[in-house]
Structure 1
Amino acid sequence: MPTSRKQKVRTLPPGVKVWLPVSADSPSEPFPRGHVLLAPDRFRGALTAAEAARHLAAGLRRTRPDVPVVQLPVADGGDGTVDAAVAAGWRRIEAEVCGPVGRPVAASLALAGGVAVVELAEASGVRRLPGGRPRPLAATSVGTGQLIGHALRRGARRIVLGLGSAACADGGAGLVRGLGGRLLDSAGRELPPGGAALRSLHALDLRGLPDLSGVEVVAACGPAGPLLGRGGTAAVHGTRGGAGREEVLALDAGLRRWADLAEAATRRTVRDLPGAGAGGGVGFAALAFLGATIAPGPGVLLDVFGFAERARAAHLVVTGEGVLDTRSLRGGAPVGVARAAARAGVPVVAVAGRRGLTGEQLRKARIQAVYTLEDLEPDTERRVRRAGPLLEQLTVAIADEWLPPVRRPGDRTGP
Structure 2
Amino acid sequence: MNILVAPDSFKGSMTSAEAAEAIHSGIRNSPFTGAKVEMVPMADGGEGTVDALLAPLQAEKVTVKTVDPIGRKTEGFFAWNGDRKLAVIETAAASGITLLSGTELNPSVATTHGTGIIMKAALDKGAEEIVLGIGGSATADGGAGFLQALGCEFLDEKGQLIQRVSGRLEEIHRIHTGNLDGRVKKVKLVIASDVKNPLLGEKGAIAVFGPQKGVLKEEIPFYENGMKQFADLTVKATGKDYRDAPGAGAAGGFGFSLMSYLNGEMKNGFELIAELTSLEEKIEWADLVISGEGKLDEQTFYGKGPMGVARTALEKNKIVLLFGGSVSESFIKGTYHEENLIPVPLTHEIIPLQQAMSQGEKLLELACRQTLKTLYTGAYRLGGFIKGE
Length-normalised TM-score, structure 1: 0.80
Q: What per-residue deviation string (whole Å, max 9, x for no partner) do you get for residues 56-87 of structure 1?
A: 11121233342221111112222222232236
1:100 aligns to what?
Answer: 69
Q: Is the partner of 1:249 in helix, strand or coil?
A: helix
2:94 aligns to what?
Answer: 123
Q: CA RMSD in A?
A: 2.8
Match for 2:210 among 238, 258, 272?
Answer: 238
1:388 aligns to what?
Answer: 361
2:331 and 2:222 mapped to 1: Cα distance?
41
Structure 1 stretch displaced more, 335-344 or 381-390? 381-390
1:210 and 1:386 mapped to 2: Cα distance?
46
Q: CA deviation at 1:94?
A: 0.9
Matches within 5 A, 1:184-263: 184-191=155-162, 192-244=164-216, 247-263=219-235
Change in CA separation of 1:217 and 1:229 when aligned onto 2, cut-off 3 Å? same
Unmatched runs of 5 consecutive residues or more in structure 2: none
1:351 and 1:238 mapped to 2: Cα distance?
28
Q: Which amino acid aligns with 2:174?
A: H
Q: CA deviation at 1:392?
A: 2.7
Q: Which amino acid aligns with 2:75?
A: A
Contact 2:134–2:255 (8 Å) recurs in 1: yes
Q: Is 1:133 equivalent to 2:104 in the alignment?
A: yes
Structure 1 stretch displaced more, 384-393 or 216-225? 384-393
2:196 and 2:334 mapped to 1: Cα distance?
22
Change in CA separation of 1:247 and 1:358 when aligned onto 2, cut-off 3 Å? closer
Q: What per-residue deviation string (whole Å, max 9, x for no partner) do you get for residues 158-210 of structure 1?
A: 22221211111111111111222111235543213213144332231333322
2:372 and 2:67 mapped to 1: Cα distance?
44
Match for 2:346 among 366, 370, 373?
Answer: 373
Change in CA separation of 1:95 and 1:273 when aligned onto 2, cut-off 3 Å? same
Q: CA deviation at 1:136?
A: 0.8
Q: Is the partner of 2:6 in helix, strand or coil?
A: strand
Change in CA separation of 1:170 and 1:305 when aligned onto 2, cut-off 3 Å? same
1:194 and 1:347 mapped to 2: Cα distance?
46
Q: CA deviation at 1:281?
A: 0.6
Q: Is 1:71 equivalent to 2:44 in the alignment?
A: no
Unmatched runs of 5 consecutive residues or more in structure 1: 1-33, 407-415
Contact 1:137–1:251 (8 Å) recurs in 2: no
1:111 and 1:344 mapped to 2: Cα distance?
33
Q: CA deviation at 1:267?
A: 1.8
Q: Is the partner of 2:183 in helix, strand or coil?
A: coil
2:101 and 2:359 mapped to 1: Cα distance?
27
% same residue: 33
Contact 2:321–2:343 (8 Å) recurs in 1: yes
Q: Is the partner of 1:334 in helix, strand or coil?
A: helix
Contact 2:88–2:132 (8 Å) recurs in 1: yes
Change in CA separation of 1:228 and 1:83 when aligned onto 2, cut-off 3 Å? same
1:43 and 1:368 mapped to 2: Cα distance?
20
Q: Is 1:55 equivalent to 2:39 in the alignment?
A: no
Q: CA deviation at 1:352?
A: 2.3
Q: Is 1:335 equivalent to 2:311 in the alignment?
A: no
Q: Is the partner of 1:211 in helix, strand or coil?
A: helix
1:171 aligns to what?
Answer: 142
Q: Which amino acid aligns with 1:391?
A: L
2:6 and 2:338 mapped to 1: Cα distance?
16
Change in CA separation of 1:312 and 1:258 when aligned onto 2, cut-off 3 Å? same
Structure 1 stretch displaced more, 293-302 or 345-354? 345-354
Q: Which amino acid aligns with 1:282?
A: F
Q: CA deviation at 1:343?
A: 4.6
1:150 aligns to what?
Answer: 121
2:208 and 2:64 mapped to 1: Cα distance?
30
